[in-house]
Structure 1
Amino acid sequence: MSVKRVCVFCGSRTGKKTTYAEQARELGKSLASNHIELVYGGGDIGLMNVIADAVLSYGGKVHGVIPEHLLNRAHGNLTALHVTDSMHERKAMMAELSDAFIAMPGGFGTFEELLETITWCQLDLHEKPVILFNMDGYYDLLIKFIEQAVEQGFIADHSWDAIHVITETEDCLDLLASS
């Protein structure tokens, strides 16, 4: 598989550590430099805005997918903006448009998108790479929790093994290049 578009799940806030925005910019620059298009939630706030602006500023293409009720929060300068009727349709379209997924730091929405994407993989609805971008240890506790669920028999080893835990932008790009 050749990754042409990657869906990035990330926060509608930038978080307290400046490194989150710095790494979002770095990832955006790397995606654009490697001619990988960004698919994301379409917003003009938080890490979503940071990564979209980075991809655009380095000449890359950005596809936003946003539900109609959030259209007033849409980024105004995207390559393409897809408007859906609901959040459910948004996630399905983001998955359809993408060849891989990366989850950066975020809140409940990011968690929900990540876990649904993992579930779809577990149910054989897709075989696309799923990357958990654990910058600055953001996802350490989630990783421990998932490991506990595996240990207790609620998640199969092969389902957890399908998730790629990455801590550096270069490793994300290497994994995308090898997919």
Structure 2
Amino acid sequence: MSRICVYLGSRTGESPAFRHAAHDLGHTLAARGHTLVYGGARVGLMGELANAALEAGGEVIGVMPDQLVEREQAHFGLTELIRVPNMHERKATMADNADGFIALPGGIGTFEELFEIWTWGYLGLHDKPLGLLNVEGFYAPLLTFLTSTVQHGFMSQATRNMLLDAETSGALLDALTAAR
């Protein structure tokens, strides 16, 4: 895997651990020679991640719709900032430019991107690994819910197993690489 798409918040969240995790992931991606693909913002966890990858000498590709360039405060110091006409093109462009996917803590946009890319994998539209960086148990309630979804017969265990999770950047990248 050479390019990793990361979905995460444009806010920093309440816990300093979220910023630390974004910073650590950025450094780890660069140190392992991966290119970061993300939403292109310079604020929140998104900015923290991109800046850390750049500081560590990594390549960073941001993808942002024209209408959000000002609203989300686009990061103009990236290796490449791809401007697209809308959110649909943003998600498709990010997916096309990625060999794997990671979700850090975030809000509704992060969840939407995560579930869409997981669904695309389930439908056979890609065979790229995806995982959650479960910082301070942020995703623990979701993981419990997903187990319940399998138990109630609405999802197969194989589909559930497509979504990997780990508590550290290194462990998650190792799991994604092994799943490839």
RMSD: 0.9
Identity within the alignment, %: 44
Task: Give the CA deviation at 1:176.
Answer: 3.8
Extract unaligned runs of 5+ from structure 1. none
Post-superposition offset of 1:170:
1.5
Structure 2 unmatched ranges of 5 or more: none
Q: Could you tell me how far apart the structure 1 residues matched to 2:177 and 2:34 are?
A: 10
CA distance in 2, matches of 1:130, 1:11: 17
Q: What amino acid sits opposite 1:119 in the alignment?
A: T
Structure 2 match to 1:168 = 168
Give the secondary structure class of the aligned counterpart of 2:21.
helix
Aligned to 2:106: 106
The 2-side partners of 1:14 and 1:74 are apart by 16
For 2:27, the aligned partner's letter is: K
Q: TM-score, normalised by structure 2?
A: 0.96
1:44 aligns with 2:28: no
TM-score by length of 1: 0.96
SS in 2 for 1:83: strand
In structure 1, the partner of 2:66 is 68
Structure 2 Cα separation of the partners of residues 25 and 36 of structure 1 = 15
Q: Secondary structure at the match of 1:65?
A: strand
Deviation at 1:134, TM superposition (A): 0.8
Q: Partners in 1 of 2:111 and 2:101 — Cα distance?
A: 13
Per-residue CA deviation, residues 73-95 of structure 1 (Å, 9 max, x unaligned), is 21020000111111011000000
Flag as ranges the 4+ runs of structure 1 deviating above 4 A.
Answer: none
